[in-house]
């Protein structure tokens, strides 16, 4: 990853009628870097056989890397002819920019190969009690989020643009931060 990529940011885009994959195909054709949080789901075919396939975690959500000026990306998105909205800052109407570091963490947490990962709305995630922690060991070292306890299991929770990711983690991998 070069210095430009490290300093870039991302935009969150809401599509309608489950069009995030079609928008992703359009962006692929245009050579744009994007991310759709995906997870594995069991699907049955016509013969009753189950197959494990990747599906969007949250329908209607896609993240687009800001790799050129906003006005160029705005023009590109209008070429797509799919109904969509870019998340905007409250009050100003400016496009909400997500720092690359936050997206890097979010993408790592959304890895579909991790077991014991749950996805929820940010409201559900915020409603769960827990302490602010920093992960100090393992693949998520350096990330901050909330440590939530369910019976004798601990879960690390991180939210971003309406999506909460909750995954099982050892409490010994976390250091409580002062609030």
Give the per-residue pLDDT at 122. 86
CATH no. for residue 174? 2.30.30
Considering the domain architecture, whether residues 133 and 162 belong to the same structural domain is answered as yes
Residue-wise DSSP of 79-130: HT-S-EEE-B-TTT-PBPEEEHHHHHHHHHHT-TT-SSEEEEEHHHHHHS--
Domain boundary among 99, 131, 160: 99
Let me know whether 89 and 154 are in one domain: no
**Domain count along the chain:** 2
**Confidence (pLDDT) at 3:** 43
Q: Which residues pair with 160 in a beta bridge?
A: 163
Statement: the pTM of the whole predicted model exceeds 0.85: no
Domain C-terminal end among 67, 99, 131: 99
Structural domain boundaries, residue 154? 114-179
Under 8 Å between Cβ of 34 and 21: no
Claim to verify: residue 71 and residue 154 sit in the same structural domain: no
169: nearest Cα among 117, 128, 124: 117
Domain contains 36: yes
Predicted confidence at residue 179, as pLDDT, reads 62
- The answer on 118 and 91 residing in a single domain is no
| Site of tokens 């870039």 | 8
Q: Could you tell me the two tokens for 21?
A: 């994959």
Q: What's 53's domain CATH number?
A: 3.30.70.940
Residues 66 and 3 in one domain: yes
pLDDT along the chain (179 residues), means of 10: 61 93 96 93 87 89 94 93 91 90 90 84 90 92 92 91 88 88
The encoded tokens of residue 86 equal 């870019």
Specify if 105 maps to a domain. no
In terms of Cβ atoms closer than 10 Å to its own Cβ (0-12, 13-18, 19+), residue 86 is: middle
Sign of the dihedral defined by the CA atoms of residues 11, 17, 20, 24, in that order: negative
On whether residue 83 sits in a domain, the answer given is: yes
């Amino acid at each position: 990853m070069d210095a430009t990529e490290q300093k870039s940011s991302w935009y969150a885009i809401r599509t309608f009628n489950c069009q995030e994959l079609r928008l992703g195909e359009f962006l692929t054709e245009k050579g744009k870097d994007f991310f759709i949080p995906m997870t594995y789901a069991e699907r049955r075919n016509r013969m009753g056989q189950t197959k494990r396939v990747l599906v969007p975690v949250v329908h209607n959500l896609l993240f687009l890397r800001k790799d050129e000026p906003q006005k160029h990306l705005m023009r590109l998105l209008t070429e797509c002819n799919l109904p969509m909205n870019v998340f905007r800052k409250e009050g100003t109407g400016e496009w909400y920019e997500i720092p690359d570091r936050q997206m890097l963490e979010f993408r790592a947490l959304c890895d579909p190969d991790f077991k014991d990962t749950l996805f929820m709305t940010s409201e559900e995630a915020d409603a769960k009690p827990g302490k602010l922690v920093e992960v100090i060991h393992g693949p998520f070292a350096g990330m901050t989020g909330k440590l939530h306890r369910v019976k004798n299991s601990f879960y690390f929770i991180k939210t971003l643009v309406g999506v909460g990711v909750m995954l099982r983690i050892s409490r010994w991998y976390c250091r409580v931060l002062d609030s």
